[in-house]
Amino acid sequence: MNAKQPFVANQAQVDEAAIAPLPNSRKIYVEGSRPDIQVPMREISQSDTPTGMGGEKNPPIYVYDCSGPYTDPTAKIDIRAGLPALRQQWIEERGDTEVLNDLTSDFGRERAGDKALDELRFPGLHRKPRRAKAGTNVTQMHYARQGIITPEMEYIAIRENMQREKYLADLKNSGPQGDRLAKLLGRQHPGQAYGAAIPPVITPEFVRDEIARGRAIIPNNINHPESEPMIIGRNFLVKINANIGNSALGSSISEEVDKMTWSIRWGGDTVMDLSTGKNIHETREWIIRNSPVPIGTVPIYQALEKVDGKAEDLTWELFRDTLIEQAEQGVDYFTIHAGVLLRYIPMTANRMTGIVSRGGSIMAKWCLAHHKESFLYTHFEEICEIMKAYDVAFSLGDGLRPGSIYDANDDAQLGELKTLGELTQIAWKHDVQVMIEGPGHVPMQLIKENMDLQLEWCDEAPFYTLGPLTTDIAPGYDHITSGIGAAMIGWYGTAMLCYVTPKEHLGLPDKDDVKEGIITYKLAAHAADLAKGHPGAQIRDNALSKARYEFRWDDQFNLGLDPDKAREFHDETLPKESAKVAHFCSMCGPHFCSMKITQDVRDYAAKQGIAETEALEKGMEEKAIEFVKTGAEVYRKV
Ligand code: IRN
Ligand code: FE2
């Protein structure tokens, strides 16, 4: 590894396509109780309803936005300087941290005084890391348990409400039809929330209470002051994580920064840097300094690099130093596979697919080589001491997750889950925030059982699952096999969904795969929010449906998760600008559009003064005759 190569400096540019604002969207900031609480949201504006259909004004809607300053054209982006440290003031004014003049890990000691490396490490910022003062605890859980509402908690409360009340008020004031519209567009089906209790309005006090109870976490390392606070818990919006990271097979540092900005553009709520191979430290530095979302890692990967890939050579001391190195850099949560116990390893012998977790297999190998419990388990309390000095959250790894439908919910997986529950209690004793990782591959009928056991054994600590994939038979489509499981488990109470891309099991995802995986998980998460009855989740669906019904094509595209793709598909057959107001699309053509027919029916009924259903039957009959006459093809649409 040669950290002194100047290759990074020459490529320090963000991809323009990844930072342009989304169509018809504007970044707004909602101010909290103090001027430095500025909560970002995306405002999507809409056109008016055509005059023939009511001519209403459609006020803009507000959606959750994790893209940071990247989609704000007024922000100055310089990835060599990093993002502004928006939380710096909050961290400093608590008075419980101190600046470290020297890095205290092996990395810091070995590389101290390396000027070229300093340049790389803190691009343009030269920021020094902080740590809790001796005897203090700087976790959000610690503050919450003392009854303190931090600016981070208030920020989150504003963020989760997504300006719902303002939107409904804007609707009311939009014209003579205001009351009717507010009722129509604010209506939502009651949800069925398994064990969740989501209040109609998220207050800062509610955030504090959930954090204190351990039912939610705020991954917010004090050394990642650039991050915009967010929350992971089942009484909040379901979040998604995107994995990025180079492997031995390539991709450069700037490509990884690009992947991060690309992931958050499409809705990645957190990003995990799973880099292995060369330049791990530098890659991570660039990602963290430029990331407005929490960054997670699996520290055992880097520890393994330090012993040249020989799992049996890993030691507690080396692992501890790696944790400190990454905590000082600002990693917000660590995947730690501390539940892989010696006695569970033989249980995997009869599996179809053995141990599929990378971290899990490293630890299993170590345990077998030494015939000892892993140092992650035996030194767990010391790990907690490190976590609370920087506020790094645990993501307790599922090293024994099933890698096939055959292995789902077996003894090894469930044994580990129980141990993760015991470790949760230890972490909570230290006021350290915890979430629990879950599978994997699970058929639909076993998903609820898995979720229920997690809630019970882990005392409602947030669950964070990889899918699960609901079948093994579709390599190339595993974003879908797993999107199905993700939607279900999200509904049952999982707080964060780790995305799976179409390349799963096959290769390293490229940018298109990353986007495909994110959009798939975004829609799974939203479907779960709807099913749980998250207040206001349906607002976006209602607005989009109204636009669709009224043939406001541009609004339909722009309100969707992927406006570019929607527009592209539409334009494949009807590229003309005039088609953007046409009262049909190419799916059914001008004569067989059900929405157009319904509109005609309403007009007809209004004119004739007959009931709508009667008119509908009449209208359909006419259309049927037309259909037989022209012999046109009609595609089924949902
Ligand atoms: C999430 C839930 N279960 C596993 N994950 C993710 O898988 C985890 O957060 C990390 O991104 C990756 C770790 O994989 P291994 O080391 O367990 O294979
Ligand atoms: Fe798999």
pLDDT over threshold 70, residue 187: yes
Indicate whether 412 belongs to any domain: yes
Average pLDDT, rounded, for the chain? 90
Average pLDDT on 482-504 reads: 97
Q: Is 466 in the pocket of ligand 1 (CB under 6 A)?
A: yes
d(CA 141, CA 429): 11
Is the pLDDT higher at 620 or at 418? Answer: 418
Indicate whether 144 belongs to any domain: no
Give the chain's domain count: 2
Q: Is 139 in the pocket of ligand 1 (CB under 6 A)?
A: no
Is the pLDDT higher at 135 or at 14? Answer: 135
DSSP state of 58: -
499 and 598 in a single domain? The answer is: no
Ranking 139-148, 195-204, 307-316 by mean pLDDT, the lowest is: 195-204
Q: Is residue 517 within 8 Å of residue 499, measured between CB atoms?
A: yes
Among residues 531, 550, 573, which one ends one of the domains?
Answer: 531
| Ligand 2 centroid from CA 438, angstroms | 13
Of 263, 466, 496, the one to substitute when testing ligand 1's pocket (max ligand atoms within 8 A of C-beta) is: 466
Find out whether 437 is annotated in a ligand binding site. Answer: yes
- The residue contributing the CA closest to ligand 1 atom 17 is 357
Those residues whose C-beta lies under 8 Å from the C-beta of residue 433, and which sit 6 or more positions away, are 139, 140, 141, 211, 214, 217, 218, 219, 391, 393, 394, 427
Strand pairing partners for 27? 42
Greatest CA separation for the chain: 87
pLDDT over threshold 60, residue 112: no
Q: Which domain holds residue 596?
A: 583-637
486 and 603 in a single domain? The answer is: no
| Ligand 1 centroid from CA 437, angstroms | 7
DSSP string, 403-448: SSGGGTT-HHHHHHHHHHHHHHHHHHHTT--EEEEE-SB--HHHHH
Those residues whose C-beta lies under 8 Å from the C-beta of residue 521, and which sit 6 or more positions away, are 240, 267, 479, 483, 486, 497, 499, 500
Strand pairing partners for 216? 233
Indicate whether 68 belongs to any domain: no
Average pLDDT on 544-563 reads: 97
Strand pairing partners for 38? 31
| Ligand 2 centroid from CA 439, angstroms | 9
For residue 632, the model assigns a pLDDT of: 42
Q: Rounded to whole angstroms, what are the CA distances from 27 to 22, 67, 425, 632? A: 10, 10, 40, 45
Ranking 278-292, 394-408, 428-442 by mean pLDDT, the lowest is: 278-292
Q: What is the ipTM of this complex?
A: 0.99
Q: Is 395 in the pocket of ligand 1 (CB under 6 A)?
A: yes
Q: Is 335 in the pocket of ligand 1 (CB under 6 A)?
A: yes
Per-range mean pLDDT, top range of 15-24, 37-46, 274-283: 37-46
Those residues whose C-beta lies under 8 Å from the C-beta of residue 530, and which sit 6 or more positions away, are 189, 191, 537, 538, 541
| Closest by Cα among 225, 231, 147 to 433 | 231
Ranking 245-254, 257-266, 301-310, 549-558 by mean pLDDT, the lowest is: 245-254
- Alpha helical stretches, state H, 112-163: 115-121, 140-145, 151-161
pLDDT over threshold 50, residue 320: yes
269 and 340 in a single domain? The answer is: yes
Q: What is the pTM of this model?
A: 0.91
254 and 382 in a single domain? The answer is: yes
Q: Point out the ligand nearest to the CA of residue 299.
A: 1
418 and 272 in a single domain? The answer is: yes
Query: Ligand 1, closest atom to CA 498?
Result: 1
340 and 435 in a single domain? The answer is: yes
Indicate whether 503 belongs to any domain: yes
587 and 514 in a single domain? The answer is: no
Q: Label residue 626 by pLDDT band (50, 70, 90).
A: low
| Ligand 2 centroid from CA 374, angstroms | 24
211 and 325 in a single domain? The answer is: yes
Is the pLDDT higher at 344 or at 113? Answer: 344
| Ligand 1 centroid from CA 512, angstroms | 21
361 and 248 in a single domain? The answer is: yes
| Residue type, position 305, single letter | E
Burial class (CB in 10 A: 0-12, 13-18, 19+), 266: buried
Q: Is residue 498 within 8 Å of residue 482, measured between CB atoms?
A: no
DSSP state of 247: B
For position 278, which CATH number holds? 3.20.20.540
Q: Is residue 333 within 8 Å of residue 393, measured between CB atoms?
A: yes
Average pLDDT on 185-204 reads: 93
Average pLDDT on 283-293 reads: 92
Q: Point out the ligand nearest to the CA of residue 401.
A: 1
Long-range contacts of 110-119 (CB under 8 A, 24+ apart): 111/3, 114/3, 114/4, 116/3, 116/4, 117/3, 117/4, 119/9
d(CA 371, CA 10): 49
**What sign results for the dihedral spanned by CA atoms 98, 103, 104, 105?**
positive
For residue 124, the model assigns a pLDDT of: 45
Indicate whether 564 belongs to any domain: no
For residue 631, the model assigns a pLDDT of: 45
Placement of tokens 């998604």 in the chain: 240
526 and 595 in a single domain? The answer is: no
Indicate whether 174 belongs to any domain: no
pLDDT over threshold 70, residue 118: no
Indicate whether 69 belongs to any domain: no
Q: Label residue 144 by pLDDT band (50, 70, 90).
A: very high
491, containing H or E segment: helix 478-492
- Alpha helical stretches, state H, 335-404: 358-370, 375-378, 380-390
For residue 614, the model assigns a pLDDT of: 76
For residue 10, the model assigns a pLDDT of: 34
Question: Counting every residue, how long is the chain?
Answer: 638
The 10s digit of each residue's pLDDT in 330-369 is: 999 999 999 999 999 999 999 999 999 999 999 999 999 9
Average pLDDT on 456-463 reads: 98
DSSP state of 250: B
Query: Ligand 1, closest atom to CA 357?
Result: 18
524 and 608 in a single domain? The answer is: no
Indicate whether 378 belongs to any domain: yes
Q: Label residue 297 by pLDDT band (50, 70, 90).
A: very high
275 and 336 in a single domain? The answer is: yes
For residue 1, the model assigns a pLDDT of: 32
Q: Label residue 8 by pLDDT band (50, 70, 90).
A: very low
Query: Ligand 1, closest atom to CA 337?
Result: 17
